Amino acid sequence: MDEAEVKEERRRLAELFDIAPGRILHALCALAVPDLIPPEGTGMDRLASAAEADPDRLSRLVLAAETLGVVRVDASGTVRLTAGGQLLRSDHPDTLRPEFAEIDMFLGWGAFAECVARGGTSYERARGGALFERISRDPASLTAFHAYMRVRAAQLYAPLVPYLAKRGFRSVVDVAGGTGGLTELLLAADDKLHVTLLDRPEVIELVPHATRARFGERLVLRPGDMLRSDLPAGHHAYALGSVLHDWADEEAVAVLRRCHRALDDDGQIVLLERVLSERGPDRGRLADIWMMAITGGQERTLARWNALAAAAGLVIDDVHDTADGEVSALVLVPDGAS
């Protein structure tokens, strides 16, 4: 490389290494700063007062956020949100606020190199316990995590709903479905469908009362642990939305076997998961590193999804991709039934 190429690569790698942009966005969301900026804008002092933050430090944060393109500060000192900044508001339909305000998972990266070298998860080494066990013991963390997951489900799975609705499911078990982000999409798309939402008892308690009231008897809430108990039997479909990527192969196969045992005669298992390319650059590889660091799971190629299905006595009958490739629907049926 010549001197100019070396300089450019140094700059590019330094930007990749820099943790500050992510922490700036986190602080904005954790302090609810975007929610406090009205359409006409506001001054720094008023914003600091509303956020109950040190004025000088908040001003520095906001000016750094301007560099990231989420706010603009004019010559008079008035702060306004950009189009990107609007996505950080809690009332935006495509909000990133719950995801960016979440702190617990970010604290688990300190031991990542050791996790790569010796196994286990970086999160467990840094935080002293597995993610799902820790947040289950902390009501505030549990609520924040599932608020994020609910918003994520609504955004991520909406493009797949027309495809799922066409499959004509009579009843669905939403396995480890959190507080019902996927469940609500499915019920809203088909007024004849019944969905059983299954998750641990402390999660089921967080299902919004508005959701319960909206769908009445078509929604059944079922406390249960997919890793430790049998699933409710005899339903037409068992849906797992971004569930198996949280787990290593052994646990993932165990869950698929439980789903297989519970299926009715013409039943199907539907995985809503990322499918990595077999080779070459893929942004999904970054998500795979998140799984390695935080939960011990992984994102998988189609070949690896096929291997998991086979280990549970299943085959992949269909794969439906979204336009952006962010998530796919993989339909699994018992081997010999396709």
* pLDDT (tens digit per residue) in 170-195: 999 999 999 999 999 999 999 999 99
Indicate the pairing of strand 263-273 with strand 235-241: parallel
Q: Which amino acid is at 140?
A: A
Residue 287: CB atoms within 10 Å:
17
Using the Cα atoms of residue 148, residue 151, residue 153 and residue 156 in order, give the sign of their dihedral.
Answer: negative
Name all domains of the chain by residue range, CATH numbers in brackets.
3-92 (1.10.10.10), 131-334 (3.40.50.150)
Chain-centroid distance, C-alpha 101: 13
Amino acid 212: pLDDT: 95
Q: What is the pTM of this model?
A: 0.85
Residue 273 tokens read as 């998961």
Buried b (16+ CB within 10 A) or exposed e, 212-238: eeebeebbebbebebeeeebbeebbbb
Q: If the chain, 338 residues long, is cut into consecutive pieces of 10 residues, what is the mean pLDDT of each piece? A: 86 84 90 96 95 92 93 95 95 86 75 89 89 89 87 91 94 97 96 96 96 96 93 95 96 97 92 93 90 93 97 97 91 86
Distance spanning both ends of the chain, measured CA to CA: 54
What would the pLDDT profile of 52-72 be if each residue is shown by its tens digit? 999 999 999 999 999 999 999
